Amino acid sequence: MKHFFKALTVALISLLLTCVVMSDAMAQQTLSDVKKNRGLNDEDVLAAAKTFMPRGGRDEYFAFVGSGNSGTMIVYGLPSMRIYKYVGVFSPEPWQGYGFDDESTLMLKKGSLDNTLLKYGDMRFPALSETGGKYDGKYLFYSDGANSRIALLGLDDFETKQVLMHPLFINAFPGVAVSQGTEFVFQTSEFPTPWDHREANVIADYETKFKSGITAWKFEDTDEAAGSGHHIGRMIKEASFTLELPPFVLDFFDAGKLESNGLLIGLASYQNQNYVYVYDYLKAQNLQMYTENDFAVVPFKEAVNAGAIALIPLDQAAKSVKVDPSGKYFITAANTAQVFDFVKVKNALAQKTFSFSNVLGAPQINPADVLHGELNLGSKVIDLAFDYRPNVVYASVYDDQKLVRWNYETLAVEQSLDLSFKPGHLMTPQGNSIEPHSNYLTVVNKEGVYENAINTGPTRPGYQHLIDISSDKMRDIYTMSIPQANIYGSVSVLRTTIKPIIRYPLGTNTRTGEISRFKTVAGQEKIEREGNRVHIFGTLIRSHITPEIVEVEEGDVVTFHLTNLERAEDETHGFTVSTYGVHGSFEPGKTASLTFTADRAGVFPYYCTEFCSALHLEMEGILLIRPKGYVVTEEDLKEEVLTAEQLAEYKKNYEDKIQVINETQDVINSVVTFLKENDYAKYPYVEALVVDALDQMELAKTAKANYERYAAEGKWKDAFLWAEQYWQYQVKTADVGLRAKKLLSEQINK
Amino acid sequence: MKKNCVMKKYSFKYSPDLLLTVIVVAALALMTACDTKGDKKAGATGAPYGEESFGEVVKRRGLNADDVLAAAKTYTPDKLKDEYIALNSGGQAGNMIMYTVPSMRMTKYVPTSSRQPVNGFGYSVESEAVLKSGYIDGQVIDWGDTHHPGFSETNGNYDGKWAVVNDKANPRVFVVSLKDWELKQTVNNPIFRSNHGGCFFTPNSDYIGEASQYPAPLDRKYYPLTESNFKKYWRGGLTYWKFDNEIGKIDEDKSFTMEFPPYTQDLTDMGKLVSDGWSFTNSFCTEMYYGGIESGRPPFEAGCSSRDVDYLHVVNWKKAAELIKNRNNYKIINGHKVIPIDVAVANNILFLIPEPKSPHGVDVSPDGKYIIVAGKLDSHAWVYSWDKITKAIADKNFESTDHFGIPVISLETALHGSVEVGLGPLHNQYDKEPGVVYTSIYVDSRITKWDYVNLKVLDFVSSHYNVGHLVAAHGDVINPHGKYLISLNKLSIDRFNPVGPLHPQNHQLIDIEGDKMSIIYDMPLPMGEPHYTALISVNDFESIETYPVGTNIYTMEKSPYYTELGSERMETQGKKVHVFATINEGVMKPGNINLEQGQEVEIHITNHGQTKLDHYVYEISAYDQMYRWRPGETATLAFKAERAGMYPLLLDNYHSPEGRSLQGYLSVRHNEAAENERLLAYSKRVQTDMQMQSFQPSAIEMKNLLEGEMEFLNYGCNACHRFGEDFNGPDLLMVDKRRTEDWLKSWIMNPEEHMNEADIEAMRQRYKLAMPDQNVSEEDVAKIITYLKLRTTQFINEQ
């Protein structure tokens, strides 16, 4: 009976829809036409309906990609799988001026060994900050497996805030984990090396000089800027410490939560034997430490003696290991997945019921003592993910091309889904927190071979699939391509948990979260010179850069310190000086600096690189670089004088312009009337636009005062040009006003 | 049932919302009757939705009938193939961006001027050579502002061979092959300081047009900025790059520039069919205004918009190409041929036509008979008739000449007509239907569809928000495809999940098959700011999947460093080491690489993999060295072994989820001299940066600083000195007890004066380093000495 009704529903709905779309028969095709033309079946249309995002709609989740050697954070939305942003982290990124403006460049150089701008990083498994084991949507962490760095991104503005070079590791595992209150961010080495930057023999010195380690980076989030919503938490190197380990090759790791809070578990191997290590970092932080390269280190022996570290041997190599949402178990991703019980592990640690194996003196727990159970899943299990359903875990089985949904309490397979590709890493929304969500599961397809993919050369994008796990029947509903990414594990958080800002407090140095000492407000623009050092304190606003003409001498070291005065959402300006290699992106309120040596004389245009208004192309200026020793002559400064005819023409132009100004004002007035009559203030987006429009009109006052003054003085050229400027402000007001009107009309018609 | 439907068709004609209500009500009624949601806990966030019918999904996601139709038109499961590739300029990201249509999925970033680690662009010697060939006057330029991509053409249609794009900030042109969609050539414009009107192929790809934007002296010299100098020395121009469409190379020697007045030239288009042989370039700021807001002059935006008309530049480039065969017809500036304005006027190859205030786009119709110009400060689009222009030229029917003596054809003479299309029209793209054109309207945020022959508006659709360029499938060649149009919106404001102050762009896909345009997809552009996009049918190009073994992919020639399997080796010539290596079946040979600190090494690697899955990333830990080898590629990593130590060598099979595998170690033997060299280079870098902008640790990092520690750090003292240990310089613990305060002060401020002291000389021998003069001020010296004391006390207390 149920099935009958369901079938009827589908039939009825599609029929109705068919009718709807036939409503404008001349203009539109029907759904069934489209299905037929494109070769879609009912399942396809259902998948389309589950992923398609109607205009202006919001995705349910944000997801952050482990993007490998791109060194760039990538964020997209679930379920539409549309990519929202790439953000430079370990690699310079010119669109955002990252590694091109002074602020980000100095931040990156501080996070290097030799004060250099490193060119890339390898970041495969990111982590989100947590409060009480839940994602709090404030920060995102990445480990750089290539140049051994760790990075912090702020999710209020989606910018990289801190990059630190690991003081000991020469090679790091490209993944991070956080403790459940983000007190610590964990990073480990991957391949063992000596820590002292000296050569050593890989065979003879391996056990004496080669080391591995686990670092707990102390994180502090106390310094929240009041009111701005701008978080400025940072990792504190001086309060962080590293556990020194024998030369294990370290792999994926995860932090305990709830019952297992305080423990870190991870994969290790040594001489063809695989282990899970269990590390009690809370215990370790109180142990005797020594300092190496200004960094606190817990000697392995100390940790062993305190029962802060132990190994569990594994029969099979595992590709991943994950702590379940309750914190009771951890599970290895292996052909026969093993479920270990944290309570038993803790007992073993407390009672020291382990043997001291011949392996480097490490304490070894008998797996049988701590195992909850195991389940064979198939050939080559890559990854695990949890969802909302209690005790349920998903496994990707590479060789068998399937996804398995199984219960790790009862150790039974619930469902499996055959895939058209070999599955790699998995992700569920909120998956690594104590409250994972259901409905969506992403699966990476590293091979990425599709018969129908458009061949655009040997370099292909990364691919992942969206699996609908909302019901008993799992379905592959979307294939997403991601360019410029070597995709591994991702993390995802509920959209509403992240509360991004849309503008900065005026004059913000976005890398520190503080007001920049180079902040410049309108009317205070100036050029300061100290010897050959020239500081230009400038401003950006639709559609001009102040100052517009700058003259310096060849050899001067020049810095443009620019502040974007805009308060309107999405009114970003960019800045560059022709052929001088600098570029900055200035979001509303941001202050950044661009420094270069003016070592070539000549004429260099500078301009706004972000299409910001109808007069964007006119947002330009000229940098003149005078050759060293150039003597300015009187001839150089001779100016043209206006003839009587020219003056008369300007007067007429002025009068015509005043007429246009009056007409434009009528348009503005009508828009304002419409907005007021329809209570625009009730709609925040509309209100923001109206505020911006009124701001533009405020700016126009100076232009009006100027044209009236010049007209009174009979200086018709200046009067005309300032009248023109006044009109430009009117146009900008009208532009924003019309956008507000359109949005308001939509809201009303909803 | 069928009949019923037809009846409904009429009754619901203008009320899709009403129908949706019907659907939803029906769906709701049935849902109550058949609840199939097994394990769902009602209302809980993140709980499984359970098995849902189509109607339930539609309701839950708030889709209306148009949404469902749009979803069906764009959703492209694996069994289907996308129809078009959209090739976008990346703007300030310095690359090109590709996505597929209609599914609107991002597929590729093609690097042109920015380093890009996943592709490896800028990380191998070979790719860096292409990158560096775009450096201007030796200036490092690791980015670009790409604007207008163009596809090569044969007989006026895309031939699927090459793509080009221009860099506005650093006037350059990039050539990309469609065989592998990788950069092959970078050509610097020797006389411009910026460009905008590029890149536009002539109909048989003989030339690529690149017009300047902001005028500047063509000889690139300095002249004081006055009105008379501006008119005398500042110039614009249009460079015609000679292109060989077979080998995909620009021949700089056979290229030339048409000199233009110092108006700000904007976009360009090439004539086609009847107008083939001519090019059209518009301009703004024919006022020749140059700003000066800081000295009380109105800004550029006012001064550049004060005239009612600007000029369309009409050039007979075929005749110009003939003229440059005679040495008397051109001058040479910076090694480049330039046809001066007076020569062009004397030879009847350069004309001006007034066009509406501050135009933006100029687009020649598919039949070449009309040229449409849209002025951003005028609500009309203006249609010029090529017939009328040719006639005026033949009859020498000119209304005047401009300041530089160029004949001006009157607007009335050249105009076919104008149509009011909306506020702020910018660009035009053509439909497959003859006479139909689409225009982007910036201020009104909409696309207007209109008839440029009969001069009437046909339809419009709202876009969100502020559309810049627009693109239709093959919409700028002689056979446009129609079908899809994309609106390249500059603002996205409220369209997407918020991701901080910097928003993505919004590209909206519009179905233009019917009479009514309908928007069917909103796509965020996650990086870069595309200006123009070109759509090419997936049937019109053919790309390769692998390279012949040993290929340098940037020259497409066999690399001299190609290494056969089995002949892997290391060759040392003094300080230079060459490693000839191979990658085969997931293994790099040789595994270990042993060097001495200070040696320069080149690792030439040939990837012998020959399937599309054989992509490898080879990394040298902590050395910032990495490249991605495509199947068959030979490429080189070159670096100096600056630091001693053991560095894991890693190979990542890109198309496998296995992760990185250890191939061996780079072992660098310590060398005292090289170590000193490294440290000196380090402190030099610190000093340079201090000149740029002082280090300013953030508040949270400053919290625990001792008095004077900031100065200690700012002057880079910690680069060499530590407390309680010898480092690159002597231990500073208790230095205040060993030396007097006056001596320390003098030593820090004037180290040179102490160099002949015996104990200083002894320490120089020991540390192989001399104390540098950091130009420490007297005030800061006192702070540093205070810190030396405080830190000593603190250290002793800690022990």
Asked whether the beta carbons of residue A615 and residue B305 sit closer than 8 angstroms, the reply is yes
pLDDT tens across B74-99, in order? 999 999 999 999 999 999 999 999 99
pLDDT value at position B550?
98
User: Residue type for B647, please?
Assistant: Y
CA-nearest of A336, A619, A323, A325 to B304 is: A619
pLDDT value at position B37?
38
User: Residue type for B537, please?
Assistant: S
Segment B665-680 mean pLDDT: 92
pLDDT value at position B42?
53
Query: Å from A354 to nearest chain B CA?
Result: 31
d(CA A87, CA A95): 9
Q: Are A743 and A685 contacting, i.e. CB atoms less than 8 angstroms apart?
A: yes
d(CA B764, CA B769): 6
Q: Are A602 and A623 contacting, i.e. CB atoms less than 8 angstroms apart?
A: no
Kindly tell me the burial class for residue A652, based on how many C-beta atoms sit within 10 Å of its own C-beta (0-12, 13-18, 19 or more).
exposed
Burial B244-266 (b: 16+ CB within 10 A, else e): ebeebebeeeebbbbbbbbbbbb
Q: Could you write out the three-class secondary structure of A554-594? A: CCCEEEEEEEECCCCCCCCEEEEECCCCCCEEECCCEEEEE
* Residue A20 confidence class, pLDDT cut points 50, 70, 90: very low
Which residues of B, range 276-305, sit inside 8 Å of A by Cβ? 284-285, 290-295, 297-305
d(CA A436, CA A430): 4
Torsion of CA A115, A117, A121, A125, to 10 degrees: 70
Q: How many CB atoms lie within 10 A of CB A193?
A: 27
pLDDT value at position B175?
98
Asked whether the beta carbons of residue B193 and residue A113 sit closer than 8 angstroms, the reply is no
pLDDT value at position A592?
96
- Cα B539–Cα B545–Cα B550 angle in degrees, nearest 5: 140
Tokens (6 digits) for A317: 């190599």
3-state secondary structure of B782: helix
Paired sense of beta strands A475-482 and A212-220, if any: unpaired
Q: Are B223 and B233 contacting, i.e. CB atoms less than 8 angstroms apart?
A: yes
3-state secondary structure of B635: strand
Best of A238, A559, A578 to substitute, by most chain B Cβ atoms within 10 angstroms, is A578
Which residues of B, range 719-738, sit inside 8 Å of A by Cβ? 722
d(CA A579, CA A62): 38
Tokens (6 digits) for B344: 């062009």
A-chain residue closest to B98, CA distance: A483
Asked whether the beta carbons of residue B524 and residue A232 sit closer than 8 angstroms, the reply is no
CA-nearest of B413, B426, B267, B442 to B351 is: B413
DSSP states of A378-431: -S-EEEEEE-SSTTEEEEEETTTTEEEEEETTTTEEEEEEE-SS----EE-TTT
Query: Å from A349 to nearest chain B CA?
Result: 31
Region of A528 (left: φ > 0; alpha: ψ -120 to 50; beta: rest) is beta
Burial B222-240 (b: 16+ CB within 10 A, else e): bbbbbeebbeebbbbbbbb
Number of H helices, E strands in chain B: 18, 45
Query: Å from B328 to nearest chain A CA?
Result: 28
Q: How many CB atoms lie within 10 A of CB B741?
A: 14
pLDDT tens across A421-477, in order? 999 999 999 999 999 999 999 999 999 999 999 999 999 999 999 999 999 999 999
Q: How many CB atoms lie within 10 A of CB B388?
A: 17
pLDDT tens across B189-217, in order? 999 999 999 899 999 999 999 999 999 99
Q: How remote is the C-alpha of A303 from its chain's centroid?
A: 36
- For tokens 């990425």, name the residue: A448
pLDDT tens across B375-411, in order? 888 899 999 999 999 999 999 999 999 999 999 999 9
d(CA B795, CA B357): 72
d(CA B39, CA B760): 80
Tokens (6 digits) for A294: 């200004």
pLDDT value at position B20?
42
d(CA B287, CA A646): 13
A-chain residue closest to B695, CA distance: A106
Which chain B residues are closer than 8 Å to A473 by Cβ?
A: 51
Q: Could you write out the three-class secondary structure of B613-633? A: CCCEEEEECCCCEEEEECCCE
Tokens (6 digits) for B373: 């110009």
pLDDT tens across B612-640, in order? 999 999 999 999 999 999 999 999 999 99
Tokens (6 digits) for A742: 């359109």
3-state secondary structure of B35: coil
Lowest mean pLDDT among A50-54, A528-532, A602-606, A646-650: A528-532
Bond into A79 cis (ω within 30): yes
d(CA A392, CA B39): 13
Q: Is the pLDDT of residue B768 over 90?
A: no
3-state secondary structure of A718: helix
d(CA B90, CA B183): 14
Torsion of CA B545, B550, B552, B555, to 10 degrees: -90
- Cα B465–Cα B469–Cα B474 angle in degrees, nearest 5: 130
User: Residue type for B316, please?
Assistant: N
Which residues of B, range 135-164, sit inside 8 Å of A by Cβ? 136-137, 139-145
* Residue A567 confidence class, pLDDT cut points 50, 70, 90: confident
d(CA A230, CA A156): 6
Residue A561 contacts by C-beta under 8 Å, 6 or more apart in sequence? A516, A518, A520, A535, A536, A537, A538, A591, A592, A593
Tokens (6 digits) for A501: 């800002």
Tell me the Cα Rg of chain B: 33
Q: Are A11 and A32 contacting, i.e. CB atoms less than 8 angstroms apart?
A: no
Paired sense of beta strands A234-245 and B616-620, if any: unpaired
Strand partners, A322: A331
Q: Are B427 and B361 contacting, i.e. CB atoms less than 8 angstroms apart?
A: yes
Q: How many CB atoms lie within 10 A of CB A677?
A: 8
Strand partners, B519: B510
Q: How many CB atoms lie within 10 A of CB A712?
A: 9
Q: Is the pLDDT of residue B692 over 90?
A: no
Q: Is the pLDDT of residue A145 over 50?
A: yes
Query: Å from A346 to nearest chain B CA?
Result: 31
Q: Name the strand (E) or helix (H) holding B267.
A: strand B264-270
Lowest mean pLDDT among A20-34, A193-207, A309-323: A20-34
pLDDT value at position A234?
93
Local structure of residue A484 (DSSP, 8 states): T
Which chain B residues are closer than 8 Å to A95 by Cβ?
A: 90-93, 527-529
User: Residue type for A289, please?
Assistant: M
Q: How remote is the C-alpha of B94 from its chain's centroid?
A: 2
Query: Å from A597 to nearest chain B CA?
Result: 9
- For tokens 């292409």, name the residue: B130
- Cα atoms in the Cβ-side hemisphere of radius 13 Å centred on B740: 3
Strand partners, A538: A562
3-state secondary structure of B501: coil
Which chain B residues are closer than 8 Å to A405 by Cβ?
A: none
pTM: 0.88
d(CA B112, CA B174): 7
CA-nearest of B284, B275, B319, B287 to B414 is: B275
CA-nearest of A560, A95, A609 to B168 is: A609
Paired sense of beta strands B95-101 and B105-111, if any: antiparallel
Asked whether the beta carbons of residue A190 and residue B660 sit closer than 8 angstroms, the reply is yes
Segment B149-165 mean pLDDT: 98
Q: Are B152 and B158 contacting, i.e. CB atoms less than 8 angstroms apart?
A: yes
- As a whole-number percent, the residues of chain B with pLDDT over 70 amount to 91
Of B1, B302, B613, the CB nearest to A728: B302
Tokens (6 digits) for B297: 């002059």
ipTM of this predicted structure? 0.90
